Amino acid sequence: MRAQLPQLFPRPRELNLRGGFLPAPAAPHPTGIFLKTLPQTIVEAQAALDDSKRSACRIERAPKLAPESYYLEIASGGIHLQASDAAGVLYGCQTLRQIHEQNPQELPQLEILDSPDLVVRGFMLDVSRCKVPTQNELRQLVRTLCRLRVNQLQLYIEHTFAFSGHDEVWQNASPLTPAEIEQLDRECLNHGIELVPNLNTFGHMERWLKHPRYQGLAECPEGWIHPLTGQFKPTPATLKPDQASLDFIANLLDSYLPHFRSTQVNIGGDEPWELGQGFSKSSVEKNGKHAVYLAHLKKICALASARGRTPQFWGDILLEDLKLAAEAPTPAIPVVWGYDAGHPFNTQAGRLHELQRDFLIAPGTSTWQSFTGRLTNALTNQSEAIAAAIKHEARGVLITSWGDNGNHQPWPTTWLPLASGLAQAWCFAANQKDDAEKACQIFGGLSPADAQATTQVLKHLGQLDECIAKSIRNKSLTWEFLVANKEQLAVARAGVSDLEIKQSIEHLTVIKPLAECIGHEIVREELLVGIDCALAGLLKAQGHPITPTQAAALEVRYRKAWLQRARVGGLEESVRELHLT
């Protein structure tokens, strides 16, 4: 029988079939014992690497191999796995385990040489905008990310950590506790992942500043005008750049950082929209917004450095003026973010490379402010970002999944873009081909049949936005239709034809029966709730909104689906943002 190429995910850099097979009898045969006891954690991988015993099937240290790389040989005489570190052993064992699962009786003789394109392959999950996953979900996520070769995880925090002495901010949010963070940190460590603390420290502070106790720290305590939309926002969102704010942030860092082993911290710093409208108006008029921003950013970074942490920060403000990029604080790591296909990653990354800066590039999953995901945009955005990261020698990528305005997206809509992006971050050239079914099996623990059906549904849903020519940045129109008030709906509906609405409804109607056939109850209902929310938005745009009875029933289903994976904190706000009733 001719050996077949194994279906591996992520695909390795080099794979050569030699012809022939190695029998793999079950334990107590030595080959069976070796395959059955392959390391599944970093601790186990390190122990195997330290074991100097030689046998036909063995793991051994190869100092010449690069970090996280491995060489796997399956030959007539046995199995030989080499690596220079525990991560390489762990990843090599993951590959070998996949080969054995597909060939349980005899293994194809082959050799694989595999290594990562990027040092950092990270994922950032928003756990502040309403949805805080249960602890079990977070621990399962860690184990899943390990299988996708992730080595850095960040949980985006604004207020959903139980900060000591600040109970009024987080008491209804079901926050992560110190003990839970420490447990996650141990879980990450055991799977070769660095859990990097992430805490916004400048903009996006409305969860704090809406409380009277903290309003004195705001740039604009009485409200502000959004510079992009011209809308008045009554709730302040940006800390004023002064010593009082720095003292406040120092207190939060002292409460938060001790629960992490990481020597890094992402201090945020993005989108301080109202800077220059209030407290700092005269300073901004005199010195310019970017100079004022940069001066305060350096002080926040100094707080992190004083606590033994290398800061990361979102690079959007500095990259508005590339001249200022040279003045960015060191050794802080800027994170270049952009979530649309065609984002100028090459220009921005090229400038940072010229300055010889360590930096990360952050594309997105394009799932937030959507019920169905924007898959085409996500795949293009991520591919462009990762290509730029490799070309301009970025330290790595941080794929992001946000939760703006209610975190309404079904979790499965994240699976395909996230798995694709992470596979390309491991080896870009080898992972251009679609592996969506494998992604669904890994993330959802799905049977092959359910994985196939879920893949078809997710791909179909991810193309829904393409039924309408008009688009809105970082949103699906179907989502905007549902959550919009009367005036906003008129704006969103403008330029969208009746035929496009009809075609969108048909697009969803066609795929719904397949979604109903998915055997996994949680995944099935998550996707059906997403489909029905998108349909409700389209019917609203058509002038035929669902009835109050239908809306109430959909809300009940939405709540039930939410609580399958997430805590109750934030659910009421998320439901209000849906505007079902």
The confidence score (pLDDT) of residue 434 equals 82
For the segment 361-389, the average pLDDT, to the nearest whole number, is 98
Q: Are residues 251 and 288 in the same domain?
A: yes
List the CATH number of the domain containing 41.
Answer: 3.30.379.10
How far apart (Å, rounded) are the C-alpha atoms in residues 387 and 403? 26
The confidence score (pLDDT) of residue 316 equals 76
3 has pLDDT over 70: no
Q: What is the pLDDT of residues 453-487, one digit of tens each?
A: 999 999 999 999 999 999 999 999 999 999 999 99
Q: Which two tokens stand for residue 120?
A: 């950092």
Q: Are residues 141 and 247 in the same domain?
A: yes
The residue assigned the tokens 């709906």 is 489
The confidence score (pLDDT) of residue 326 equals 80
Let me know if residue 450 belongs to a domain. Answer: no
Out of 114, 136, 169, a domain closes at: 114
Q: Are residues 431 and 473 in the same domain?
A: no
Pair 482, 579: CB distance under 8 Å: yes
226 has pLDDT over 90: yes
Q: Are residues 387 and 498 in the same domain?
A: no
Q: Which residues are within 8 A (CB) of 444 and not within 5 positions of it... i.e. 6 or more apart? A: 412, 415, 450, 451, 454, 520, 523
Q: Which residues are within 8 A (CB) of 370 and not within 5 positions of it... i.e. 6 or more apart? A: 408, 409, 413, 465, 475, 476, 478, 479
Question: Of 4-8, 53-57, 411-415, which one has max mean pLDDT?
Answer: 411-415
Q: Are residues 413 and 324 in the same domain?
A: yes
For residues 413-447, one letter each, b for 16 or more C-beta atoms within 10 angstroms of the residue's C-beta and e for the rest, the string is: bbbbbbbbbbbbbbbbebbeeebbbbbbbbbbebe
Give the chain's mean pLDDT.
95
Q: What is the pLDDT of residues 497-550, one digit of tens each?
A: 999 999 999 999 999 999 999 999 999 999 999 999 999 999 999 999 999 999
Q: What is the pLDDT of residues 72-127, one digit of tens each?
A: 999 999 999 999 999 999 999 999 999 999 999 999 999 999 999 999 999 999 99
Number of helices (H) and strands (E) in the chain: give both, helices first. Answer: 21, 15
How far separated are the first and last CA of the chain, in Å rounded? 63
Out of 70, 86, 114, a domain closes at: 114
The confidence score (pLDDT) of residue 384 equals 98
For the segment 281-305, the average pLDDT, to the nearest whole number, is 95
The confidence score (pLDDT) of residue 315 equals 87
396 has pLDDT over 80: yes
Q: Are residues 192 and 287 in the same domain?
A: yes
Show the domain range for 141: 120-439
Least confident range of 3-12, 151-160, 242-251? 3-12
The confidence score (pLDDT) of residue 414 equals 98
The confidence score (pLDDT) of residue 229 equals 87
Let me know if residue 66 belongs to a domain. Answer: yes
Let me know if residue 467 belongs to a domain. Answer: yes
List the CATH number of the domain containing 404.
Answer: 3.20.20.80
324 has pLDDT over 90: no
Q: Are residues 460 and 426 in the same domain?
A: no
1 has pLDDT over 60: no
Q: What is the pLDDT of residues 296-312, one digit of tens each?
A: 999 999 999 999 999 99
User: How would you classify the pairing of strands 264-266 and 310-314?
Assistant: parallel
Residue 12 per-residue DSSP state: P
Domain count within the chain: 3
Let me know if residue 33 belongs to a domain. Answer: yes
Let me know if residue 28 belongs to a domain. Answer: yes
Confidence of residue 2 (pLDDT cuts 50, 70, 90): low
- Residue 349 has a CB neighbour count (10 Å cut-off) of 25
Among 398, 389, 388, smallest CA distance to 422 is for 398
Pair 575, 558: CB distance under 8 Å: yes
How far apart (Å, rounded) are the C-alpha atoms in residues 258 and 50? 31
The confidence score (pLDDT) of residue 236 equals 96
Q: Are residues 176 and 61 in the same domain?
A: no
Q: Which residues are within 8 A (CB) of 543 and not within 5 positions of it... i.e. 6 or more apart? A: none
Q: Are residues 483 and 550 in the same domain?
A: yes
Let me know if residue 303 belongs to a domain. Answer: yes
Q: Are residues 190 and 223 in the same domain?
A: yes
Out of 82, 114, 146, a domain closes at: 114
Q: Are residues 142 and 230 in the same domain?
A: yes
Q: Are residues 349 and 409 in the same domain?
A: yes
**pTM given for the model:** 0.97
Let me know if residue 183 belongs to a domain. Answer: yes
Q: Is 212 exposed, middle or buried (0-12, 13-18, 19+ CB in 10 A)?
A: exposed
The confidence score (pLDDT) of residue 193 equals 98
Let me know if residue 364 belongs to a domain. Answer: yes
